[in-house]
């Protein structure tokens, strides 16, 4: 067989390493290797792998052991593997009414208006409303998107201690009891997701 000036194929290199080539083909291939660093490197790698395979003395596991292992994983209930598993997401801010320029003619001494924030996390949006309430702040809002009743909203203080909490109604709305001004983390527990809004600042 006459070899071209191009690189040798993988199959030809494998036959050469395993000694499956005839005398003429072997001589022609070795002549090519002498002048081709790429093919000679591949041949050396194949020789090492082949040597390791031939020296391997490990034995296959018994058939009944393999069958038992496969059957164990096939019959294992998914619920037992992941009890209470939650997707943990951190919401990102997509809108803040407080960042908008004040309307012309509004006096600086006017009471702070309610602030609207919109956060996104996966397939869920959270519409928050922050408003002064007496000496504290009221936080309310609505979950938009994939939502079902039975969810819960928590407002956590700096030490992760619950400062306020409330459930979602049929429209996935919530209103939290008033809390003092400060920086909080809002946590939404809904279906199989736990969504956090960190660094929620309640301050005039």
76-112, pLDDT tens digit by residue? 454 444 445 668 899 999 999 877 655 444 444 444 5
| Per-residue pLDDT at 112 | 53
| Per-residue pLDDT at 43 | 86
Confidence of residue 145 (pLDDT cuts 50, 70, 90): confident
Higher pLDDT residue, 108 or 155?
155
Map out the domains of the chain with their CATH numbers. 10-55 (no CATH), 87-99+112-202 (2.60.40)
The arithmetic mean of pLDDT across residues 15-26, rounded, is 87
Determine the Cα–Cα distance for residues 85 and 50; give it in Å rounded to an integer: 45
Determine the Cα–Cα distance for residues 106 and 33; give it in Å rounded to an integer: 85
**In the predicted model, what is the mean pLDDT of the chain?**
80
Determine the Cα–Cα distance for residues 54 and 115; give it in Å rounded to an integer: 73
68-78, pLDDT tens digit by residue? 777 666 554 54
| Per-residue pLDDT at 158 | 77
Quick one: what percent of the chain has pLDDT higher than 90? Answer: 29
| Per-residue pLDDT at 100 | 67
Quick one: what percent of the chain has pLDDT higher than 70? Answer: 81
| Per-residue pLDDT at 150 | 77
User: pTM score, two decimals?
Assistant: 0.53
The token duo for 53 is 């395979």
Closest CA to 141 of 130, 156, 157: 130
29-47, pLDDT tens digit by residue? 889 888 888 888 888 888 8
* Angle (CA) 92 177 128, round 5°: 25
């Amino acid at each position: 067989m006459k070899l071209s000036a191009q690189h040798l194929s993988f199959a030809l290199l494998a036959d050469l390493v395993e000694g499956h080539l005839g005398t003429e083909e072997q001589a022609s291939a070795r002549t090519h290797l002498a002048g081709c660093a790429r093919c000679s490197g591949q041949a050396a790698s194949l020789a090492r792998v082949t040597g390791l395979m031939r020296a391997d003395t490990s034995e296959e596991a018994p058939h009944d052991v393999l069958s038992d292992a496969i059957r164990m994983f096939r019959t294992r209930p998914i619920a037992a593997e992941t009890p209470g598993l939650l997707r943990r997401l951190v919401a990102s801010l997509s809108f803040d009414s407080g960042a908008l320029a004040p309307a012309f003619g509004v006096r600086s001494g006017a009471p702070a208006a309610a602030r609207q924030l919109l956060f996104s996390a996966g397939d869920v949006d959270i519409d928050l409303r922050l408003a002064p309430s007496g000496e504290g702040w009221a936080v309310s809002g609505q979950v938009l998107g994939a939502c079902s009743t039975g969810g819960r909203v928590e407002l956590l203080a700096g030490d992760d201690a619950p400062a306020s909490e409330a459930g979602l109604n049929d429209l996935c709305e919530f209103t939290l009891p008033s809390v003092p001004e400060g920086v909080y983390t809002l946590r939404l527990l809904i279906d199989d997701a736990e969504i956090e809004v960190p660094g929620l600042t309640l301050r005039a």
